[in-house]
Structure formats: structure tokens, C-alpha cells
Amino acid sequence: MSTVLTLTTYFAERQRSGDRFLADAVLDLIERRRVGSSVMLRGIASFGPTQVIRSDRSLSLSEDPPVTITAVDTADRITALADEVATLIGRGVITLQRGFAAPAGLGGDGAVRVSLQLARRHRIAGVPGYVVVCEMMHRHGFAGADANLGVDGTVGDERRRARFFSRNAEVPLSIVGIGTGTQAAAVIDELAALLPDASWTAEPVVVCKAGGRTVTDPVLDGPFHALTVHTSESSRHDGRPIHRALIQRLKESDHASGATALRGIWGFRGPERPHGDRLGQLVRHVPVTTVIVGTAASIAATYPIVDELTAEEGLVTVGALAGMLERHSGQAHGSLDLGDDPYP
């Protein structure tokens, strides 16, 4: 198997690095280093080490929404990139996650998170590419999938930034699915002829809950982990959207250092058909993904809150992080030093 690393940064969009916006500085660095692929996503709610909640219900969202930037490439390129990104970020979180280039190494009943990037307006037989991919994942029995629209990113050494008064056809979007290794291999094989240039990445995860039902307890081997909660904009707990209740409850706790919620444009959970917004809807039904990163101890303490709020619906996974660095108020916590490679 060929090892790949995924670097993900979490910060506020209007945060600056010197005289520039931090997002531009990070993406310029990614482009300059000719990293294989990257995408920047705007979040809809978050809080971080400073305990400030950012939300699309705030009047200041247009000024300073939460963002994530994800970059994927070989371990050598990403570790060098991570060291440079760490010098740019004054307040935020950087994570590293190990995976492998799929389909090599896929198979079996263990759960994996598979992902790829497509151009925003990429079409397959006249149908949006993300619709085709999600439909195929659903047909092969995936537990869930999300398509998230990027606002900036790179493909190879070329920057693809969304602009006003443009179709933005080549701006990347991210597709992520949760399924077994066997299901993932089948999807990639079936899509090979339709997406011959697609670069798939896979990382092992543990499915803790599906459809509100407990599958297994979180497995927290290693120092850092990402706990991911897949719901819908319409998912409710006591009448409140699950992702908003989760952000608020985690902020009020004394053990969670941060979380970010991302709104997708298409996807599904369990047996429901893949879907997005439709005309005439009063409530949005698009997928929402809430990512919580932290130490094994903080994730263990956080999980009971997640378990409570997803008692009736939601797909919950946990995956090990190879490294995590949190910066704020001139302090740094965690480490981006990698341990042994499980995919030599």
C-alpha cells in the first residue's frame, strides 16, 4: 500500500497571518509545494480554544465563518507542509491523519472512510459527478456519504478559487463515504471507467453508532482522535438541530477544546435515498458533519454527550490521528511528530 497523509486545518476565515488572510497564505503554500489536492470548506458553526461560538445564525458570519482546509499527498510532502503551516497559524488546530491510496489494501468488513475530490461541475453522462458517486455508494450499502462544496483549493499545482460572476466549474468539492473495505473496493472498481483520473484515499475508522443505534464503543488507541457526527440539517434533539445542540453542549463542557460543523450539498445516511435541498422545502435536509478533534481522554469524556444527542438518529465514527497541534494565546499543545507508519 502507498501511504498518504491528510492535513486538516481549522480556523476562522478572516484570521490573518502577517498582512494576509491566513487561508490565502495556507493555500498559496499548498500550491507552491505542488500538493496533490486540497479543498477549503466554510463551516456553519464552530467553537475553538477561545470558546467563541461562530455560527451562520450570527450577523457576523459573512465576516468571519469557521473554515477548514484539507490537503492530501505523500507523507513526505504533507509533513513538510505541516511544519510550514504551523508557523503561520496563531490560533487554530492542525491535524494529520494517515491513510492509503485506494483501492490497494481495501477489502474485508472493517469500516473505512473513503474520499475523493471532483470539480464542482464535473458531470457523468449529464449528471453531476457527486450525485453519481453518492448514488453508487448508497447502492453498495455504505453507511453514509457527504458531498461538500469547496470555495477554494488546488488540483495538482493549479489553484481553483471560487469567484463572483463565474460558473466556478473547476473549483473542487469533496466527497466522503463511510463503508466497509469490500463495499469501498466495489464502488471504486465500478467508477474506474467513469472517473479514470480520480485519486481515492482511504482511512480506517470505527463506526460507533448508525441510525441512533450503538454499534460499538469508541476505540481510542493512540494519543489523538477525530470523532465525527454525521446528521442532517433537519435532525433534531428536543426540537433543536443536533449539530447546534452539540456545539453548545460541548462548549459548556469542561473537556472539549473545539468542534466544527460543515453543511453538505448532497448525501445520505443509512437506507435513505441520497438527496439535497429541493424547491419548496421549509426545512433544509442537506447533510451536516460535525468534527470533534482532541486527545483520547477528551474524546472519551465527550462521547457521552454525542451518544445522548444521537439517541434517535446519526452516524458516528471515530478515527485515530497521527498528530494534532492546537495553537492559541501564544501557546501550543500537542504534536505533529509522526510515529511508526502502519502502511510501510
Mean pLDDT of the chain: 89
197-237 per-position pLDDT tens digit: 999 999 999 999 999 999 999 999 999 999 999 999 889 99
158-194 pLDDT, tens digit per residue, is 888 887 656 667 899 999 999 999 999 999 999 999 9
Full DSSP string of 245-262:
HHHHHHHHSSS---EEEE
Question: What average pLDDT does range 241-266 have in this prediction?
Answer: 90
Counted domains in the chain: 1
- Full residue range of the structural domain in which residue 209 is found: 3-335
CA neighbor of 176 nearest in space, from 70, 267, 110: 267
Peptide bond into 103 cis (omega under 30): yes
Asked if residue 342 is part of any domain, the answer here is: no
Proportion of the chain in helix, strand, coil states, percent, rounded to 5: 20, 40, 40
Question: Is 239 inside a domain boundary?
Answer: yes
Alpha-carbon distance of 86 to 122, in angstroms, equals 33
344 is a domain residue: no
Label each residue of 14-59 as H, E or C: CCEECCEEHHHHHHHHHHHCCCCEEEEEECCEEECCCCCEEECCCC
Which pLDDT value is given to residue 164?
A: 65
Residues in the chain: 344
Instruction: State the pLDDT at residue 55.
Output: 54
Residue 311 is assigned to a structural domain of this protein: yes
pLDDT one-digit tens code per residue, 62-98:
456 899 999 999 999 999 999 999 999 999 999 999 9
Q: What is d(CA 63, CA 96) in angstroms, rounded to the nearest whole number?
A: 28
Q: What is the pTM of this model?
A: 0.92
The three grid cell numbers given for residue 300, joined into one nine-digit string? 472519551
Residue 145 lies in a domain: yes
Q: Is the pLDDT of residue 60 over 50?
A: no
pLDDT band at 1 (very low <50, low <70, confident <90, very high): low
Residue 120 lies in a domain: yes
pLDDT of residue 338 exceeding 60, the answer is yes
Question: What are the cell numbers at 39?
Answer: 479543498
E-strand ranges in 43-128 read: 45-47, 53-55, 66-74, 92-102, 111-119, 123-124, 127-128
pLDDT at 246: 94
- Say if 340 falls within a structural domain: no
Q: From CA 151, how far away is CA 66, in angstroms rounded?
A: 13
Owner of C-alpha cell 453508532: 209
What pLDDT score does 116 carry? Answer: 95
Instruction: List pLDDT tens digits, range 98-146.
Output: 999 999 989 999 999 999 999 988 999 999 999 999 999 999 999 999 9
Residue 274 DSSP one-character state: P
Q: Kindly state the percentage of the chain with pLDDT values over 70.
A: 89
- Give domain status of residue 270, yes or no: yes
